[in-house]
């Protein structure tokens, strides 16, 4: 039986592991001993390690045939040192993984002015978070070319689920942009993202990038209006871009400075995946059941 190492044992990993354990021997890397019991309940073997501590990773070299890299980059700095340490640890043994699947972000595209974007679009990340993600992508793809390991990149947008909805934001009355200033946003349900990572184990071509997004075509304000309507809450107030600057955090504002509509043809044609939640409407409806 092949062995899978899940790096970054958070929400998406927790949704993927039950599917994985029916097919593979699954190890899950975590730096929190408190999470070991939950990982065991899912059927995985927990391993204590920290991507910020190179020495803690050495004993996992050569362990897995497949690596699912779900861990975020560090919160600061120009590069993703965590991915660098993970790859360095893999090189400590002659036995390299056959495949690595990495969940990145669609933020690497930067602002596209609302245009339709496929995976051939040149990246222009505009914030440090996206720059670190692009650094991780480049390191992983170069590693694949150098070693022959098949590397697949899933670029994910805003991840949501029944327990990851903007309910608190709407209840606070946080404003959204006027229609004339508004930006297109993109979404993926956490269950669909988890399954796309699993599908990429089998179907992804070497070095291939995939927009892991659903079919939703809404501007940000429309998305929040729809959520408010579904869950019986008042719609958020609308403001101009100039007015809203004083109301929201810099991170929230950063999401309102980029607009793009993402093409998901590749996940259908090449990974053969049929979305469980094709749009946020289906995801919201499921949260009500």
CA–CA separation, 224 vs 234, rounded Å? 10
Q: Is the pTM of this model over 0.85?
A: yes
Please compute the mean of the pLDDT values over residues 156-185 and round it to a whole number: 96
CA–CA separation, 60 vs 29, rounded Å? 9
Q: Which of 125, 154, 135, 145 has its CA nearest to residue 84?
A: 135
| Predicted confidence (pLDDT) per residue in 75-133, tens digit | 999 899 999 999 999 998 888 999 999 999 999 999 999 999 999 999 999 999 999 99
Q: Which of 33, 27, 35 has its CA nearest to residue 11?
A: 35
The whole-angstrom distance between residue 76's C-alpha and the CA centroid of its chain comes to 18
CA–CA separation, 67 vs 205, rounded Å? 15
The whole-angstrom distance between residue 26's C-alpha and the CA centroid of its chain comes to 20
Q: How many CB atoms lie within 10 A of CB 37?
A: 9
In the prediction, which pLDDT does 198 show? 98
DSSP bridge partners of 102: 69, 153
CA–CA separation, 163 vs 143, rounded Å? 36
CA–CA separation, 40 vs 45, rounded Å? 6
| Predicted confidence (pLDDT) per residue in 14-25, tens digit | 999 999 999 999
Reported as a pLDDT band with limits 50, 70 and 90, residue 254 is confident
Look at the chain and count its residues.
289
DSSP, collapsed to helix, strand or coil, labels residue 137 as helix
Per the listing, tokens 């978070």 go with 129
Name the superfamily (CATH) of residues 3-160+188-214+261-276.
Answer: NAD(P)-binding Rossmann-like Domain (3.40.50.720)
Q: How many CB atoms lie within 10 A of CB 220?
A: 19
Q: What is the DSSP letter of 162?
A: T
């Amino acid at each position: 039986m092949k062995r899978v190492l899940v790096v970054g044992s958070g929400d998406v990993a927790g949704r993927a592991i039950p599917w994985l354990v029916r097919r593979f021997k699954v190890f899950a890397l975590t730096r929190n001993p408190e999470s070991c019991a939950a990982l065991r309940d899912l059927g995985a073997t927990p391993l204590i390690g920290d991507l910020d501590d190179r020495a803690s990773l050495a004993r996992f070299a050569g362990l897995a045939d497949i690596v699912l890299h779900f861990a975020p980059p560090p919160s600061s700095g120009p590069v993703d040192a965590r991915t660098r340490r993970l790859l360095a640890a893999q090189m400590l043994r002659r036995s390299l993984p056959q495949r690595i699947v990495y969940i990145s972000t669609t933020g690497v595209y930067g602002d596209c002015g609302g245009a339709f974007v496929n995976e051939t679009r040149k990246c222009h990340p505009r914030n440090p978070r996206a720059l670190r993600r692009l650094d991780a992508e480049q390191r992983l793809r170069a590693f694949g070319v150098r070693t022959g390991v098949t590397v697949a990149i899933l670029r994910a947008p805003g991840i949501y689920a029944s327990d990851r909805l903007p309910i608190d934001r709407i209840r606070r009355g946080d404003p959204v942009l006027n229609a004339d200033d508004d930006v297109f946003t993109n979404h993926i349900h956490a269950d669909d993202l988890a399954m796309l990572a699993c599908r990429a184990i089998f179907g992804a071509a070497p070095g291939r990038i995939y927009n892991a997004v659903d079919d939703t075509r809404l501007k940000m304000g429309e998305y929040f209006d729809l959520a408010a309507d579904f869950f019986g809450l008042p719609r958020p107030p609308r403001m101009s871009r100039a007015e809203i600057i004083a109301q929201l955090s810099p991170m929230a504002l950063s999401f309102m400075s980029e607009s793009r509509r993402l093409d998901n043809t590749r996940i259908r044609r090449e990974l053969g995946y049929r979305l469980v939640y094709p749009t946020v409407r289906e995801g919201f409806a499921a949260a009500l059941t």
